[in-house]
A and B are shown apart, each in its own frame.
Chain A
Amino acid sequence: DTAVSQTPKYLVTQMGNDKSIKCEQNLGHDTMYWYKQDSKKFLKIMFSYNNKELIINETVPNRFSPKSPDKAHLNLHINSLELGDSAVYFCASSQESGVTYNEQFFGPGTRLTVL
């Protein structure tokens, strides 16, 4: 049983295109995240979202936008792709309500290559 799943696993596209990455979690968690991992393995949080608020890392370009159709899904839309967007993108989820710590469960990642 996959806890956090992402599609697609690989995404190759041209500069200037618009693309989406989908994320679904079946853990019943109320908070989901998107991370970007660069070629040096550095993990940078892009968004945190639950049914109450969206927290955006201010360094993330507004070409990136999260869309949550329901509590179990958080998709990532990227407009006008640039070479520097090439990275591995991870979705994660955690349960925030009623707990005081933040253990995150990660998806397998989507490797985005912009040509």
Chain B
Amino acid sequence: AQSVTQLDSQVPVFEEAPVELRCNYSSSVSVYLFWYVQYPNQGLQLLLKYLSGSTLVKGINGFEAEFNKSQTSFHLRKPSVHISDTAEYFCAVSEAGGSYIPTFGRGTSLIVHP
């Protein structure tokens, strides 16, 4: 069975600074990887996904993530954050060819200060 670890529960950062949110996964088979964002009092929406191919994935709102198979990581990055990026970010993994139900990490709260 797969598992996901988001190492940081909270990441404070100043506006216009770069940010990286870390995600590591564990699985014995190939995986699909996702990042979701949850703005305050809203549901989750997909930021980006890795299915196959290029390991650098670009998503909405200027976010990107890089799949690193050897390190079993899928870290999320943005070169310059805005106040509006303040939200909860969830990493999720789904096993290819297996159970289609994704496993979510515990979330990382990104707090952008002016």
Judge whether B96 and A109 touch: CB under 8 Å.
no
Chain A residues within 8 Å of B38, by CB? 41
A42 to B108 alpha-carbon distance, docked (Å): 10
A103 touches B (CB below 8 Å): yes
Interface set, chain B 98-113, CB cutoff 8 A to A: 100-102, 104, 106-107, 109
A80 touches B (CB below 8 Å): no
B26 touches A (CB below 8 Å): no
What's the minimum C-beta distance from A38 to chain B, rounded to whole angstroms? 10
Chain B residues within 8 Å of A105, by CB? 46
Judge whether A102 and B102 touch: CB under 8 Å.
yes
Q: Which residue of B lies closest to A43 (CB)?
A: B104
Judge whether A101 and B101 touch: CB under 8 Å.
no
- Sorting the interface of chain B by its residue count into under 10, 10 to 19, 20 to 34 or 35 or more gives 20 to 34
Judge whether A90 and B44 touch: CB under 8 Å.
yes
What's the minimum C-beta distance from A55 to chain B, rounded to whole angstroms? 7
**Main secondary structure on chain B at its contact with chain A?**
strand
Chain B residues within 8 Å of A55, by CB? 101
Judge whether B49 and A101 touch: CB under 8 Å.
yes
Chain A residues within 8 Å of B102, by CB? 102, 104
Chain A residues within 8 Å of B46, by CB? 103-105
B88 touches A (CB below 8 Å): yes
What's the minimum C-beta distance from A83 to chain B, rounded to whole angstroms? 22
Chain A residues within 8 Å of B73, by CB? none
Chain B residues within 8 Å of A45, by CB? 101
A42 to B9 alpha-carbon distance, docked (Å): 11
Partner of B43, one of A31, A102, A103, A106: A106
Residue with the greatest number of chain A CB neighbours at <10 A, chosen from B38, B42, B97, B106:
B38
What's the minimum C-beta distance from A34 to chain B, rounded to whole angstroms? 12
B34 touches A (CB below 8 Å): yes
A102-B101 CB under 8 A given contacts A43-B107, A90-B44, A108-B43: yes
6 contacts between A and B (CB under 8 A): A41-B109, A102-B94, A102-B100, A104-B46, A106-B44, A109-B41
Residues of A bordering B, CB below 8 Å: 4, 31, 33, 40-43, 45, 48, 55, 90, 92, 94, 96, 100-109
